[in-house]
Amino acid sequence: MKFETIIGLEVHAQMLTNTKIFCGCSSLFGAEPNTQTCQVCTGMPGVLPVLNKKALEYAIMTGLAMGCTISSHSRFARKNYFYPDLPKGYQISQYELPICEQGHIEISVDGEVRKIGITRIHMEEDAGKNIHEGTGKYSLVDLNRTGVPLMEIVSEPDMRSPKEAAEYMKKLRAILRYLDVCDGNMEQGSLRCDANVSVRPAGQKALGIRTEVKNINSFKFVEKAIDYERKRQIDVIKTGGQVQQETRLWNSAKAVTESMRSKEEAHDYRYFPEPDLGPIMVGREWIEEIRTRLPELPDAKRERFVSAYGLPEQDADILIGDRPVAAWFERSVAAGGQPKAVSNWMMVELMRLLNEENRSIETCLLRPEQLAGMLTLIDNGTISGKIAKKVFAEMYKTGKDAEAIVKDKGLVQISDQSAIEKAVEDVIAHNPNEVERFRAGEEKLIGFFVGQVMKKTKGKANPTIVNELLKKKLIDVI
């Protein structure tokens, strides 16, 4: 029997506002515990929340970017539950009337474009943080995060494979970062994802019973956790069992999902409209004004990178994944870099070096104009492609111009015929065995000779001239 996997994601995104959603406390990450709190966000009696307009604006921006309908009339609701990191005993969230509904995101997997529905986007407040490690008999509570504005973005059960889910997360993150409404950092928890997963026999219409997998805190784990979970469910069904509706946790150390609570143990949140906050009325003019301020979004940028710069789709896809990367590319091209060459150097050398250091392109010493400068040196024959790699690494390390590095290190390409000829003759004279084998028909030895000449000239000889001269000399003597 063949099975189809069905996935719907619930994503929480911390908004990049300066202050919290219902009070004026700073929402900056990383402060001393409990230094960013007040009566409102610690849930003291008798205080009233006031909605942060910026948080509302960010939610609307996100909704517009995902093609949602923005509700002219929405409201907050209380979600009641007890937990030590939730001082009020309830979370202010949205329930029956969210701010955004019915949008979609396009993803492309293996060359196929798929439209993934967005059911809703709603605003809510974050909870505090319990700290259990290194505290002995006690647990500690840090309320700095309490009241930090979140968006919850809920998708339709439209994804069909772990890879699609990962692509969806990547696109979602890219859009949030383009809009500058969330930093998208999964490791630090500013972007979190719960995956709802079910399987059904191929051809069946009705959806299977789903489980919800929590605690997925990296892109790699989105794919792994869902893949594990779908295989587990298929196994259960194939061995005659039934999938239980439950919440499971992804255990990244063991690479498995583990049961956390069953349907019977599920919370009853006793939602009701939040009496301390009035309805949210959003006028059409404001929505349209926000729309005019939306930046160019990833899909539009990809199309432009293909049509305006003639890049292959795959290049464009990678470059537009992150807004600063795309901006870096455009600056380098604006400085005279040939688009495909800039793209190649970025995707191969630059990304590798950045990954090695786990550094973001924004803090990179190498400037896009400097890459364009190096490309000019390759084009006019000053340096070879091989030497360029060295120059590039040095530029990356020091932030110096290519020209200065080439001068300082004496890396100028040798195109002088007689200098190369001397090296070629030396190599031929010192390797009589190889010469004989080459002449006996072992043509692939040409690579060996080129290598020797390059070694002799410290990689600086112009490879085209080396090849020409070698062939001429090796055959000449016959």
Task: Report the interface residues with ligand ADP, using CB under 6 A.
Answer: 6-10, 154-157, 196-198, 207-208, 210, 212
Residues near 438 by Cβ (< 8 Å), separated by ≥ 6? Answer: 445, 446, 449, 474
Report what 413 binds from ligand ADP, Zn ion, none; CB cut-off 5-8 Å by kind.
none
Report what 196 binds from ligand ADP, Zn ion, none; CB cut-off 5-8 Å by kind.
ligand ADP
User: In this chain, which residue has its C-beta nearest to ligand ADP?
Assistant: 8
Tell me the residue length of the chain.
478
Binding part of the chain for Zn ion, among 39-47, 318-326, 364-372, 459-467 by CB under 5 A, reads: 39-47
Nearer to Zn ion, 46 or 441 (CB): 46
| 339 within 8 A of 309, measured Cβ to Cβ | yes
By the rule CB under 5 A, 209 interacts with Zn ion: no
* Residue 124 CB, nearest approach to ligand ADP (Å): 12
Residue 362 is given by DSSP the state G
Report what 303 binds from ligand ADP, Zn ion, none; CB cut-off 5-8 Å by kind.
none
DSSP 106-175: EEEETTEEEEEEEEEEEEEE---EEE-TT-TT--EEE-TTTT-EEEEEEE-S-B-SHHHHHHHHHHHHHH
Residue 80 is given by DSSP the state E
Report what 23 binds from Zn ion, ligand ADP, none; CB cut-off 5-8 Å by kind.
Zn ion
Q: Which helix or strand (DSSP H or E) is residue 199 part of?
A: strand 191-201
Nearer to ligand ADP, 98 or 339 (CB): 98
Q: Is 315 exposed, middle or buried (0-12, 13-18, 19+ CB in 10 A)?
A: buried
* Residue 39 CB, nearest approach to Zn ion (Å): 7
Binding part of the chain for Zn ion, among 38-46, 92-100, 174-182, 454-462 by CB under 5 A, reads: 38-46
Nearer to ligand ADP, 245 or 252 (CB): 245
By the rule CB under 5 A, 41 interacts with Zn ion: yes
Nearer to Zn ion, 28 or 365 (CB): 28
Q: How far apart are CA 12 and CA 81, in angstroms?
A: 18
Nearer to Zn ion, 38 or 51 (CB): 38
| 108 within 8 A of 90, measured Cβ to Cβ | no
* Residue 321 CB, nearest approach to ligand ADP (Å): 23
Residue 26 is given by DSSP the state B
* Residue 161 CB, nearest approach to ligand ADP (Å): 13
Q: Which helix or strand (DSSP H or E) is residue 196 part of?
A: strand 191-201
* Residue 392 CB, nearest approach to ligand ADP (Å): 44
Nearer to ligand ADP, 131 or 249 (CB): 249
* Residue 209 CB, nearest approach to ligand ADP (Å): 7
Report what 10 binds from Zn ion, ligand ADP, none; CB cut-off 5-8 Å by kind.
ligand ADP
| 199 within 8 A of 4, measured Cβ to Cβ | yes
Report what 207 binds from Zn ion, ligand ADP, none; CB cut-off 5-8 Å by kind.
ligand ADP
* Residue 334 CB, nearest approach to ligand ADP (Å): 41
Q: Which helix or strand (DSSP H or E) is residue 20 part of?
A: none
Residues near 194 by Cβ (< 8 Å), separated by ≥ 6? Answer: 9, 10, 11, 12, 212, 213, 214, 216
Q: Three-class SS string for 279-338?
A: CEECCHHHHHHHHHCCCCCHHHHHHHHHHHHCCCHHHHHHHHCCHHHHHHHHHHHHCCCC
DSSP 437-465: HHHTT-GGGHHHHHHHHHHHTTT-B-HHH
Q: How many helices (H) and strands (E) does the chain have?
A: 16, 16
By the rule CB under 5 A, 23 interacts with Zn ion: yes
Nearer to Zn ion, 50 or 294 (CB): 50
* Residue 319 CB, nearest approach to ligand ADP (Å): 30
By the rule CB under 5 A, 277 interacts with Zn ion: no
* Residue 172 CB, nearest approach to ligand ADP (Å): 12
Q: How far apart are CA 96 and CA 282, in angstroms?
A: 17
* Residue 50 CB, nearest approach to Zn ion (Å): 11
Place of tokens 């899909």: 299
Q: Which of 10, 12, 34, 38 binds Zn ion (CB under 5 A)?
A: 38
Report what 154 binds from ligand ADP, Zn ion, none; CB cut-off 5-8 Å by kind.
ligand ADP
Binding part of the chain for Zn ion, among 30-38, 81-89, 214-222, 358-366 by CB under 5 A, reads: 30-38
Nearer to ligand ADP, 197 or 282 (CB): 197
Nearer to ligand ADP, 197 or 435 (CB): 197
The Cα-based distances of 234 to 52, 149, 209, 228, 469 in angstroms read 46, 38, 12, 10, 64
Residue 6 is given by DSSP the state E
Nearer to ligand ADP, 6 or 469 (CB): 6
| 25 within 8 A of 39, measured Cβ to Cβ | no
Report what 8 binds from ligand ADP, Zn ion, none; CB cut-off 5-8 Å by kind.
ligand ADP
* Residue 178 CB, nearest approach to Zn ion (Å): 29
- Footprint of Zn ion on this chain (CB under 5 A)? 23, 25, 38, 40-41
